[in-house]
């Protein structure tokens, strides 16, 4: 079945490699360019310690784990999709498959190479905006618990705060129920 019409990013970066080979990961500067292009005034915070995991990020900035935005690249039936989920949640591959009308076997988290190819960023630093390609974005509805959330800014030690409503608008993301329900196993 055809994937639902979804939610393309409004700003992509200008760096690309037409051959698709040896693509270098983007940096925090690319994220700042995307934020500026979107008219979002926020400060990117760079830490000496890693913020690559949600728990590391929450500890570094002193916030609740759930307010951390995990930006994950998935491939659903050969379609790359960026999932923005709360730091205290896990993505339910059954729910993702259902959105695309495919079985959970067609839902895979992207490997590092695919993540860089599609988003421009290495896992652990993928921001919600400024991707290499225009990619559909799905936003975990559990993030709606927070007015302000914290997202990766292009590297494994950078974060920026953003109002959730601004994040939704900037990514043109669709807010959906994609978190695992309590009691569900892998």
Per-residue model confidence as pLDDT tens for the chain (186 residues):
344 333 333 344 444 444 445 578 999 999 999 999 999 999 999 999 999 999 999 999 999 999 999 999 999 999 999 999 999 999 999 999 999 999 999 999 999 999 999 999 999 999 999 999 999 999 999 999 999 999 999 999 999 999 999 999 999 999 999 999 875 444
| pTM score, whole prediction | 0.86
Domains of the chain (ranges; CATH) run 28-176 (3.90.960.10)
Contacts of 51 (CB under 8 A, 6+ apart): 57, 60, 61, 152, 156, 157, 158, 159
Contact by Cβ (8 Å): 42, 150: no
Contact by Cβ (8 Å): 86, 69: yes
**Which residues is 46 bridged to in the sheet?**
158
At residue 150, φ and ψ (nearest 5 deg) are -125, 125
């Amino acid at each position: 079945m055809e994937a639902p019409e979804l939610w393309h990013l409004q700003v992509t970066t200008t760096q690309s490699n037409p051959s698709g080979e040896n693509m270098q990961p983007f940096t925090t500067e690319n994220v700042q360019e995307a934020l500026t292009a979107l008219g979002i005034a926020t400060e990117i915070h760079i830490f000496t310690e890693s913020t690559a995991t949600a728990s590391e990020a929450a500890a570094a900035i002193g916030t609740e784990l759930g307010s951390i935005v995990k930006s994950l690249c998935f491939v659903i039936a050969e379609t790359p999709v960026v999932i923005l989920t709360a730091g205290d949640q896990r993505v339910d591959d059954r729910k993702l498959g259902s959105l695309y009308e495919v079985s959970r076997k067609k839902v895979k988290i992207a490997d590092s190479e695919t993540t860089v190819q599609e988003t421009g960023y290495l896992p652990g630093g993928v921001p919600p905006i400024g991707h290499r390609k225009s990619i559909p974005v799905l936003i975990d509805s559990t993030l709606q618990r927070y007015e302000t959330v914290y997202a990766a800014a292009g590297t494994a030690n950078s974060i920026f705060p953003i109002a959730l409503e601004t994040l939704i608008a900037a990514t043109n993301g669709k807010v959906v129920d994609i978190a695992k329900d309590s009691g569900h196993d892998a």
